[in-house]
Structure 1
Amino acid sequence: MSYAIIGFGKIGQALAKAFARSGIEVSVATTRDPESFASAAAAIGPTIIPKKLAEAVKADIVFLAVRFESHQDVAKALSTWQGKTIVDVTNAYGVPPEELGGQPSSRAVAQAFTGGRLVKGFNHLPAAVLDRDPAVNGGRRVVFLASDDDRAAAEIAALAENLGFSPIKLGGLLEGGLLVQARGNSWGQLIFKDLVKFD
């Protein structure tokens, strides 16, 4: 299984650190040349591999850690996303609901990534929290996941556990996705909830 993070701002770097802590190789890419962020990637660890966008999107699982407004540009990198799982880490705060056709922001993202399986996840934690080790006082920091594809949700839940998090599935995008989405001037009820699960 291969992994990529598209977007290397604060959220993208926080995700990269989670992969580095677990020793899992992940490609990182932006619309810029890889050399422009190679030193930042190297500072995180040797398993963080800078690549061009066209190369990074060949991964099996792609984390979308760009501004919501940029998701369509990333989606154009491939003519079809068949066989791939996209993890939507975006938040559409400030995007009027009418621009989304009245649907959850993650549904709008899913439509752009033709043929792909979308999981909404890892977007409810601020970068400064996501950046930290998910092991907290003997427990594990929670990440919420929502998807209309049960197999994709299970796949990302397993990855979240490998990264040290405790995944909680919220159901489909229309139900669970609404709890962790931002759109217009409102935040979903679970955004910014920094929860820890103790086994």
Structure 2
Amino acid sequence: MSYAIVGFGKIGQALAHAFARKNINVTVASRRSPEELAPQAREIGHTVVAKSLQDALQADTIILAIPFGEHREMAKALPSWNGKTIIDAMNSFPTPPEELDGLTSSAFVAKSFTGANLVKGFNHLGAAKLATDPIVEGGHRVVFLSSDGEDAFAPVVDLAKQLGFAPVKLGKLNEGGALVSARGQVWGPLIFQDLFKKQP
């Protein structure tokens, strides 16, 4: 399984730290050139490699850590998203809810990435928390996952566990996804909740 993080701002870098901590190879890309990203990527860890956007999009699992307003343009970067797993780590705030066609932000994003298995995840924690070791006092920091495709969960659950997190499935995007959604004046009750799951 190959992984890429698209977007190398605070969230993208925090996730890169999570991969580096576990020595898992990950490609990172953004609007900036690979040459610009490379020093920062190397500083995070030797398993974090800056590449072009087109190279990054060859990965099996792609984490979107870009500003929400850029996702439709990003979706045009590949002619087909079939077979790809997309992890939506974005939040739509401050996009007005009326621009989302009455959908949760991830359901709205899924419309652009036709054919992909889209999972909402890694978006409810701030970058500082996301970057720190998720194993604390014998427990694992929780990440919430939502998807409209039951088969989409498996690779993301596996990745979350590899990174040291405790994945918790919340169900479909319009149900569980709404619990971790930040939109307009309505913020899901699980946004910024820093929860741990103890080992049995």
Partner residue in 1 for 2:121: 121
Partner residue in 2 for 1:53: 53
Residues 138-147 or 69-78, more deviating: 69-78
Partner residue in 2 for 1:154: 154
Partner residue in 2 for 1:145: 145
Matched, 1:83 2:88: no
Contact preservation (8 Å) 1:16, 1:48: yes
Q: Give the superposition deviation at 1:70.
A: 1.0
Partner residue in 2 for 1:180: 180
Number of matched pairs: 199
Contact preservation (8 Å) 1:93, 1:186: no
Q: Give the superposition deviation at 1:74.
A: 1.4
Instruction: Indicate the SS of the match to 2:164.
Output: coil
Runs (5+) with no aligned partner, structure 2:
none
Q: Give the superposition deviation at 1:17.
A: 0.7
Q: Which runs of 4+ in 1 moved over 6 A?
A: none
Structure 2 Cα separation of the partners of residues 74 and 164 of structure 1: 29
Matched, 1:5 2:35: no
* 1:21-36 matches, cutoff 5 A: 21-36=21-36
Runs (5+) with no aligned partner, structure 1:
none
Structure 1 Cα separation of the partners of residues 6 and 47 of structure 2: 16
Structure 2 Cα separation of the partners of residues 169 and 38 of structure 1: 34
Q: Give the superposition deviation at 1:186.
A: 2.4
Identity %: 58
Query: Residues 30-67 of structure 1: CA distance to partner in whole angstroms, max 9, x if unpaired?
Result: 02211111100000111001011011001000000011
TM-score when normalising by structure 2: 0.98
CA RMSD of aligned residues (A): 0.7
